[in-house]
Structure 1
């Protein structure tokens, strides 16, 4: 392209990627020709940008997580809904004027005397609909095979996360980064945090068959009462380690080429006896199998 003195010119390059991920786009050198294009001078240009190629997200027809936030509960909780009152007298959600049918034990006597009218307390609703979403992938092979596997895993993980969020379930995504030798945690509360988690997940270094987590995830009891476990290598030990006091439900999602690597009969029997829901994602049929999540289990 040509450009006049003291002016600007732009060039648009259309790039295509066969895989999702964070791609570094760099300009290494610029050649500046004379008007007749007979000669040129060359200049290095150490400029670059990171471009995020996002995965394709597929909708889910069902709801994986048992909805518990609106259930009637008498016991106390350390987490509460910020937008809805409930019936836990240990925490006050707010105050309001008296209305017919209110219970006498809800009267806020101090404020009522001060305002010379009945002021009622609104109790907090315990938040039990918290969820932890564990990602546990072992990547095999190199080159295109490895990239294809990562595409499938990230596509499945973010599709499930998006489906959970659309059903009203805020959650925390957790995976082990074997390069950093630590767990990475991302809270998903809205579309912005979801996009941020997707970008971080594109840079994730999942361990291969020769690597294992250097330490077990140290979760707290109040971190989440529903656990979703997405993995391509299911073992009884991992399932037992995920179970903890106060957990309402464990949801297992097995992702693999189901023709070549079906779930082992022994593992299926263990899940059935443990009354744990198990869903399957076939990497050869991603869209349909993700759509069935929350509807068809085994």
Structure 2
């Protein structure tokens, strides 16, 4: 644009010299026209700038990893003047997995007078998370590209890129998960044997137990009425996702793998009808968030919560915080998914009352599945083995390069 301005100044100087040299009426008119033209263009540009509306829209609000996300910029020009050049800059960032890297796309469009046009581009993300797409810059040029005005306070949209959900074929929950843990939640569709809660009252059928006869109601109805007891919904399994990272050193692969591993485990339990809890630390609310997973709606609620929460650099002991909020609860199995293991976290995990505890350690591609990969200066591989042996906890390694195969090998012995 600066080059165009310099060229136009040169044209003004040239026409001015010609008007002086020739001292002609028409040359004078030409010189005045050349001088006045930029002011007319600027007035038209300002009028169009005020009237023009630009909005970012997307028909897709949910996408899979690697899938094209169509994003359109809707431009409406209600004026009599067509706009020949509009420079649009779209920026987008994955606020969960790849929040340190911002991507941009720049393209040019034009719009006729009294019309609406759409400019569409395809975005995609190889990692799960909320993609925040914003109109970072819209510059409108005049016909000679001498002046430009920039639109401000533009809108943004969010598109959720879902993690990969892998179904595990083996039943990794051992026989202890069949134990009944006291529950305050009961089934709305199935009767059971818990006398503390009545599921329904119905007429007597042959074979019903006499102990279940509702005598008072039977006298009123002048027929035998039976009490059906409720079926407690046993929730003895908890998955705890530790999304802590060590800053930029942990790339999007590790963050994405933690999410895939956590939600694939929950997804597999849901498909097998195993009611469980999924818990994580929310850095915004600075508290533990827990969702009870019974069906697909619960799972997607948890996915939305995890994507909104995101990973955190803050040193948080998730197991200790979970125990502080739910100290009196009992479990048969606790799954702790992390890529950072230390002595303090193991001590905190012991506090959670459970028959079986398994740490799923998501390691980097270049690291082998060895205890040395998580060892630290004051916490050696021998210390790790000794600690796990003392506490009876299990440690399973999953490579971030192949979560699906790693989870297929995950199995707990039913001892």
| 1:59 aligned counterpart, secondary structure | coil
2:174–2:413: 8 Å Cα contact kept in structure 1? no
Matched residue, 1:91: 197
| 1:103 and 2:209 are equivalent in the alignment | yes
Of 114-123 and 259-268, more deviation after overlay is shown by 259-268
Aligned to 1:8: 116
Task: Point out where structure 1 has 5 or more consecutive residues left out of the alignment.
Answer: none
The answer (yes or no) to whether the contact 1:232–1:256 under 8 Å persists in 2 is yes
> Which of 211, 220, 223 is the matching residue for 2:315?
211
Cα distance change of structure 1 residues 101 and 287 upon mapping to structure 2, 3 Å threshold: same
Q: 4+ runs of 1 displaced by more than 6 Å?
A: 67-71
Say if 1:63 and 1:293, in contact at 8 Å, map to a contact too: no
Q: CA deviation at 1:107?
A: 0.7
For this pair of structures, how many residues does the alignment match?
291
* TM-score, length of structure 1 as denominator length: 0.80
Q: 2:362 aligns with which of 255, 261, 266?
A: 255
| Rg larger for | 2
The change in CA–CA distance for 1:85 and 1:180 in structure 2 (over 3 A counts) is closer
| Match of residue 220 from structure 2 | 114
Q: Secondary structure at the match of 1:102?
A: coil
With normalisation by structure 2, the TM-score equals 0.60
1:106 to partner: Cα distance? 0.8
Q: Select the structure that is richer in helix.
A: 2
1:139 aligned counterpart, secondary structure: coil
Q: Report the Cα offset of residue 233 of structure 1.
A: 3.0
Give the deviation of 1:123 after TM superposition. Answer: 1.3
- Rounded Cα–Cα distance in structure 2 between residues aligned with 1:268 and 1:83: 46
Q: How far apart are 1:137 and its partner, in Å?
A: 3.9
Deviations 1:219-277 (A, max 9, x none): 15348554222122345653453456864543432222484462345544554565545
C-alpha spacing 1:93/1:268, structure 2 compared with 1 (3 Å) = farther
Residue range with higher mean Cα deviation, 79-88 or 223-232: 223-232
Report the Cα offset of residue 282 of structure 1.
1.9
Moved more, 85-94 or 239-248: 239-248
State the alpha-carbon separation in 2 of the partners of residues 66 and 132 from structure 1.
14
Q: Name the residue aligned to 1:193.
A: 298
SS of equivalent to 1:195: helix
- Flag structure 2 segments of 5+ consecutive residues without an equivalent: 1-108, 372-380
- Counterpart of 1:19? 127
| 2:387 is aligned with 1:282 | no
**Cα separation, 2, equivalents of 1:223 and 1:48:** 44
1:9-63 deviation per Cα after TM superposition (whole angstroms, max 9, x unaligned) = 11111112233222321113334456xx544743314221122222222221223
Corresponding residue for 2:164? 56
